[in-house]
Amino acid sequence: MAVKVAQEWLNSCSGCEISIVDMGERLLEVLSLVEFVHSPVLMDHKYFGQLGGGNHLEIPEAKVGLVSGGVRNEEHLEVLAEMRKKCEVIIALGTCATHGGIPALCNSYRNEEILGRCFGTETTDATDALPSEGVPPLTERCQALDEKIKVDVYLPGCPPNPDHIFAALVALLEGKPVELPGKSVCDTCPTIREGKGQLKKLRRFLQAPQYGAPGEPLDKMHCLLEQGILCMGAVTRAGCGGEAVTPRCIAARVPCRGCYGPVRQNGNQRFDMLNALASNGIDISSLPESVSLLRFSGAHNLLRPSRKSKEA
Ligand code: SF4
Ligand code: SF4
Ligand code: SF4
Q: Say which residues have a Cβ less than 8 Å from residue 111's Cβ, sequence separation at least 6.
A: 138, 140
The answer to whether the beta carbons of residues 217 and 192 sit under 8 Å apart is: no
Whole-number Å distance between alpha carbons of 312 and 298: 21
- Between the CA of 206 and the centroid of ligand 3 the distance, in Å, is 20
Q: At what angle do helices 26-33 and 162-173 cross, to 10 degrees?
A: 30
As a whole number of angstroms, the distance between CA 223 and CA 200 comes to 13
What's the gap in Å between 197 CA and the centre of ligand 1?
Answer: 36
Q: List pLDDT tens digits, range 109-132.
A: 999 999 988 888 777 666 777 888
Distance CA 98, CA 309 (A): 26
Q: How far is the CA of 288 from the centre of ligand 2 (A)?
A: 21
Q: Which residues of 197-220 are buried (b: 16+ CB within 10 A; e: fewer)?
A: eebeebeeeeeebeebeeeeebee
**CA dist 235 → 105, 111, 150, 186, 202 (Å):** 18, 29, 25, 8, 17
Report which protein residue has its CA nearest ligand 1's atom 2.
158
Instruction: Dump pLDDT digits (tens) for 71-88.
Output: 999 999 999 999 999 999
What burial class does residue 43 get, using C-beta atoms within 10 Å of its C-beta: 0-12 exposed, 13-18 middle, 19+ buried? exposed
What's this model's pTM, rounded to 2 decimal places? 0.93
Give SS3 for 111: helix
Residues in a beta bridge with 67: 8, 92
Q: For ligand 2, is residue 234 a contact (CB within 6 Å)?
A: yes
Amino acid code (one letter) for 282 = I
Cis peptide before 159 (omega within 30 of 0): yes
The residues lining ligand 1, judged by C-beta closer than 6 Å to any ligand atom, are 12-13, 15-16, 68-69, 94-96, 101-102, 158-159
Report yes or no: 156 and 95 within 8 Å, Cβ to Cβ. yes
* Residue 288 neighbours by CB distance under 10 Å: 7
Q: Which amino acid is at 184?
A: S
| 295 neighbors 95 (Cβ within 8 angstroms) | no
**Dist. CA 143–CA 73, nearest whole Å:** 10
Atom of ligand 3 nearest to the CA of 256: 2
CA gyration radius, the chain: 21
223 CB near ligand 2 (under 6 Å): yes
- Sketch out the chain's domains with CATH numbers: 3-173 (3.40.50.700), 182-312 (no CATH)
Pairing state between β 71-73 and 138-143:
antiparallel
Q: pLDDT tens track of the chain, all 312 residues?
A: 789 999 999 999 999 999 999 999 999 999 999 999 999 988 888 889 888 888 889 999 999 999 999 999 999 999 999 999 999 999 999 999 999 999 999 999 999 999 988 888 777 666 777 888 889 999 999 999 999 999 999 999 999 999 999 999 999 999 999 988 899 999 999 999 887 776 767 877 677 788 877 788 898 899 999 998 999 999 999 999 998 889 999 999 999 999 999 999 999 999 999 999 998 888 888 888 999 999 999 999 999 998 666 555
The pLDDT, as a whole number, for residue 44 is 87
Which atom of ligand 2 lies at the shortest distance from residue 189's CA?
A: 8
What does 154-207 look like in DSSP terms, one character per residue?
Answer: EE-SSSPPHHHHHHHHHHHHTTPPPP---SBTGGG--SB---TT----PPPTT-
Residue type, 116: G
- Ligand 1 atom with least separation from CA of 19: 3
Model pLDDT for residues 35-55, shown as the tens digit of each residue = 999 999 888 888 898 888 888
Nearest to 157 by CA among 148, 168, 149: 168
Helix H or strand E encompassing 307: helix 307-311
The amino acid that residue 85 corresponds to is: K
**3-state secondary structure (DSSP) of residue 65:** strand
Is 305 buried (19+), middle (13-18) or exposed (0-12) by CB count in 10 A? middle
